[in-house]
Copies of this chain bind each other. A is one copy, B any other.
Amino acid sequence: MSFRAPVRDLAFALKTVGHPELLRRAFPDLDDDTVQAVLEAAGAFADNELAPLNRKGDLEGARYENGAVTAAPGFADAYRHFVEQGWNSLSADPQYGGQGLSKAMELAVFEMVHAANMAFGLCPMLTQGAIEALTLHGTPRQKELVLPKLVSGEWTGAMCLTEPQAGSDLAALTSIARPDGKGGYLLSGQKIFITWGDHDAADNICHLIIARTPDAPPGVKGISLFLANKFQVKDDGSLGPRNSFRPASIEHKLGIHGSPTCVMIYEDAEAELVGELGHGLAHMFVMMNAARLQVGVQGVAIAERAFQQALAFSQERKQGRPAFDDADGMIYGHPDVRRTLMLMKAKIEAARGVCLTTGVLADLAHRAESEDERAAAKARQELLTPIAKAWSTDIGVETASLGVQLHGGMGFIEETGAAQHYRDARIAPIYEGTNGIQAMDLVGRKVRLNGGATLKALCSEMALTAETLTEVAELTPVGRRLAAGVAALERATDWLVSADNTQALAAATPFLRLAGDVVGGWILGRQALAAAGASDPWLATKGALARLYASQVLSLASGLADSISENGADDLAATRAAALAS
């Protein structure tokens, strides 16, 4: 179960698909040496402090006793070291104590954190969401007294959205915040699935909560965003009395046992408005986009962890007489095993590239030189975010499942550790907007709303890469398959833009898969181009991974495009649930 943070892979990905020349202009200090140094230090922390706690966190988990949550064994100490070493504040604004680093770099660091210990990584990930919300929408007092504590990591953040009747559909929420007559609010209600909503690893916990105000209109427009701190914050910044909210229980979950998932009860909790009344959902969505990308990175991370374990096992386990004689008789010598491992690796690198690219675009959306560049980056960032989230987390589940499979019977035994990844990975396609919600977002807001323009522009760029690939002898098959994939995606996009709403929704999930498959092929193609002609075996493998992905994944693109336009919406419309019952 040993884990080694994929520093080399991340550095290579940032260099080849991370638009380093653009990033360098936005972050002049971000030279190769700095990138390498940051990744190595974070990798060492992940390997030495976080990874060893992963199984312990799974076995013993967070505990709920006497109305309070205790973090899993070792997690509080690890969290203290994490913030002491400055990993909590990489991308935060220096004016609040942050390091002003690139988001893409931060994502690379967090991939290693999540791979080492996904349950742990959720805590700083949610603090980041709170930091973003207060940076954009906080009052001066919140920015002065709360934000720096979140940036330093002395306090942590929690995002409080879901209620029993309001999951994907937040408009259905009923928590209510009544003006207290002194400019503040008294917030009451129940929130569920509140990750790290209570714990003992930090001095205070800042809850960002969406709730209604008494006279607000129904639906989305009646929702506002509030801040309620576990311990109230006095004007001098010191902690006051305990606020009137508490965890009622923590969930017994399939995985990520080290992360306490709380039911929270608010009973006239003292709360402050964040941003504008009635704009709560919009404010929350700013955070959610960042969180969605982070969850995509979790998909990559858990896949990487599962892959590493399976690769190690394949080199230690002897069974049968392998057809390849270069593996010392170990099962890595079986073509089917090797094919499976290489395809796992190819998909991980593709998903990693999609996520990092989206992170770079997030950077450029803020920091690119011209207004036009910023707008273009933002549009593409928004297009890629649901793909990064859903496609990568599906790969996380698939890879973790194959990781169990490659261990044979040992994979099903909990002590082996592969099963934990399979359990942990399963949450990522669900939270921060289910993958079905991502697919609806992609086809609706990101593609149909602008007539497919943003995606078509990306397709043109990908088609150029395909041409370049075709001209490199050993990458010609990749170029051909990528070109066919792009053509299939364009065909599907044309269909999608002209389809009616129901047809588009019926085809949403396969459309997202096709888009992810093709963009992933583009990423691997660019990596292979960057490595072309190299004699180093690790670099030379980039070509092999791109070819394997092209033949095994891109080969399905045309059929997938057919499955999108022949979506069967009429049959769906006509089928009652009773007709599917046994």
Contact = CB atoms under 8 A, between A and B. Distances in A.
A580 B342 contact: yes
B338 A572 contact: yes
A204 to B, nearest CB: 26
Nearest to A573: B324
Contacts of A578: 537-538
Given A193-B409, A408-B430, A580-B342, A556 B563 contact: yes
Given A405-B429, A551-B568, 4 more contacts: A162-B409, A169-B319, A405-B436, A556-B559
A253 to B, nearest CB: 5
B319 A167 contact: yes
Interface of A: 4-9, 162, 165-169, 172, 192-193, 251-255, 304, 308, 311, 314-315, 318-320, 323-324, 326-327, 332, 334-342, 345, 397, 401, 404-405, 408-409, 411-415, 419, 422-423, 426-427, 429-431, 434-436, 439-440, 477, 501-502, 505-506, 508-510, 537-538, 540-541, 544, 547-548, 551-552, 555-560, 562-563, 566-569, 571-582
Contacts of A426: 401, 404, 412, 419, 422
Contact of A345 (B5, B436, B573, B580): B580
B253 A413 contact: yes
A167 B9 CA distance: 34
Contacts of A172: 318-319
A568 to B, nearest CB: 5
Contacts of A575: 338, 342, 541, 544
B582 A413 contact: no
Nearest to A506: B335
Nearest to A509: B336
B254 A335 contact: no
A510 B556 CA distance: 12
Nearest to A566: B551
Given A168-B320, A505-B336, A582-B304, A577 B315 contact: yes
Contacts of A544: 568, 571, 574-575
Contacts of A537: 576, 578-579
Contacts of A556: 556, 559-560, 563
